[in-house]
Amino acid sequence: MNRLKMTSAIVVAMAVFVGCTAKEPTTGDFMRMHAADEKAMGLDQKEIAKNWDKGLALKKSGEKLVKHGEELIKSGEQDIMTGKHEIEQGNKDIIDGTKLSDESERVFHEKYPDLKLQIK
């Protein structure tokens, strides 16, 4: 960009210089101005192309990150579902186990009223 500004300044200076002299600009003057413009445009085009390449690389990198993030979320959601199922099953097992233990103690006491259980 600095080169573009510098080239533009040179072109303006040449135009002013040519304007200050009493003569019309020559074909050579126009050729020099055009060459300076083309050089600046070439640098500009290279910078634009370079930025486009950077943008494309950044876009591809971003797409990979999004895909990986989505995979992590999907895996995490599956883990959450599995975890919730295990908690639900665990709570059910606790309730069923408590009922079974309590019922066993009750039956034991009915059948063997004279025996004492040592429960800690």
Residue pLDDT, tens place only, 84-99: 999 999 999 999 999 9
The answer to whether residue 66 sits within a structural domain is: yes
Give residue 35's pLDDT.
Answer: 67
CB of 43 within 8 A of CB of 4? yes
pLDDT for position 79: 97
pLDDT of residue 56: 92
The number of folded domains in the chain is 1
Q: Are the beta carbons of 51 and 19 closer than 8 angstroms?
A: no
Q: Is residue 61 in a domain?
A: yes
- Residue 7 burial (10 A CB sphere; 0-12, 13-18, 19+): buried
Low-confidence ranges of the chain (pLDDT < 50): none
- Cα 62 to Cα 7, 9, 56, 71, 87, distances in angstroms: 37, 40, 10, 14, 37
The answer to whether residue 117 is domain-embedded is no
Tell whether 119 is covered by a domain.
no
Q: What's the domain range around 28?
A: 2-111
Question: What pTM, to 2 d.p., does this model score?
Answer: 0.48
In a domain, 118, yes or no: no
